[in-house]
Homo-oligomer: A and B are copies of this chain.
Amino acid sequence: MSDKVNYDFRISSLGTCKVPSPKPYSTKLGDSIANYTRDDQYILRSNTIDASTVGPDYDPAWMLEIAGPREKIYFSPSHSHAAIVTCGGLCPGLNDVIRSITRTLWYFYGVERITGIRYGYRGFRPEFNLTPIELNPDIVDDIHNMGGSILGSSRGYGDEEPIVDALERMNINILFTIGGDGTLRGSQAISDEIKKRGLKIACVGVPKTIDNDIMFVQKTFGFDTAVAKAVEAVSAAHVEAKSAPDGIGLVKVMGRDSGFIAAHTTLSTSDVNICLIPEVPFVLEGEHGLLKTLEDRLDKRKHAVILVAEGAGQELLKSGKDGLDASGNKSYGDIGLYLKDTIHKFLTDKGREANIKYIDPSYIIRASPANPVDSYYCARLGANAVHAAMTGRTACLIGQWNNALVHVPIHMATFKRKQVYNEGSLWRDVLESTRQPISMID
């Protein structure tokens, strides 16, 4: 089995964990006492016999290490100094994760030096003079009821050298990075730099992407909350559409490369008539094109609701396709405004009324506090991130895969983006719900 498991996300070899865990859990089954997780517990990467269900990229024999508290840990709690940093755009649940990491460090392990880095990786740069926040259970007690991050966030500044300089300067030996694809790649680089310098610093990530597009993470935190808020926007669009003659509600949601929010929102509310995602191209003209599909819908039902992920239909936009933003993400033109204008012109050219109500709820979605399902998930992610770090794991992240909380090596999580499989059951159920054409390419 060992050849199928990736061990390189450890500070040192397994045998170096010698500090007993401060918790008296059990090591045997059947005594009705909660057990430590053992180091030989794994979960399959794939749960299907037939790769066709989930796409072709999986080797089902691969395995992922199960997360949890171990009987022996690597770092001595009384000598540990942990830091937490939140990077990139906001996402519901950031404060929940900060809170859970802080509480688990403090209460479970007795680590009482916990530093919150301000405004993302920028907070490591001395030139910005951003005094860190000392964290403890009192400070984080109620933060899960607030959206955003009490540490602040920002994009960029992910170069590993000044960050590792700062870790050394601040004498930090455990770093938790909460961020998206760019942040996690940064974490990998930080871990590599740490290794190069021969330091014993663990760097564990908690993946934060409201788009839910991280490989080997079945759902990223904040996603359910985002869908719930997106449903509110779609409901408003539906109400507006139904209340006007030939009314059209157009909603743009997050989803740069992956249409999970759009697909889940569509299935959560059957109000969406056309769902557009980055994974499924569409054309405007032609028999099955968007405009004809929309017109047919208006003729039949007098109103329509379109839900578009921000990364859908990029090939239709003239410009802005090649730039990168500060986190290294592609910068996109605005498909929502483009569709609004295009549809307006199409209808008025035909002498029809164009009653289009365009809603872009992005900030309201991402600044929302986590709902209970996400709070539950964040609490467990944060706790298990601490367990991973205390046992010397590094360059890995905590995620849920096949319903188990696991350690995912960062390079596995970032080698490509998780996407809606256009031949799979999720997209098929979306098609059934909207009854839009199976393909909108002629």
Contacts and interface: CB of A to CB of B under 8 A. Distances in A.
Contacts of A233: 364
A273 interface: no
A42 B50 contact: yes
Nearest to A118: B245
Interface in A119-173: 119, 122, 128, 130, 142, 144-149, 152-154
B364 A232 contact: yes
A90 B239 contact: yes
B145 A375 contact: no
A245 B152 contact: yes
A120 B81 CA distance: 42
A315 interface: no
A228 B48 CA distance: 31
Given A32-B422, A239-B147, A269 B364 contact: no
Contacts of A69: 428
Given A38-B50, A364-B364, 4 more contacts: A30-B423, A31-B423, A147-B236, A359-B364
27 contacts: A31-B423, A32-B439, A33-B423, A34-B427, A34-B428, A41-B50, A42-B50, A43-B47, A43-B49, A47-B404, A48-B66, A68-B425, A90-B243, A145-B146, A148-B243, A152-B244, A231-B375, A240-B363, A267-B380, A268-B375, A270-B379, A364-B364, A371-B371, A379-B433, A380-B429, A383-B432, A404-B425
Interface of A: 1, 23-26, 29-35, 37-38, 40-44, 47-50, 52-53, 56, 63, 66, 68-69, 90, 99, 103-104, 107-108, 119, 122, 128, 130, 142, 144-149, 152-154, 218, 224, 227-228, 231-233, 235-237, 239-240, 242-245, 264-265, 267-270, 280, 357, 359-361, 363-364, 366-368, 371-373, 375-376, 379-380, 383, 402-405, 422-425, 427-429, 431-433, 435, 438-439
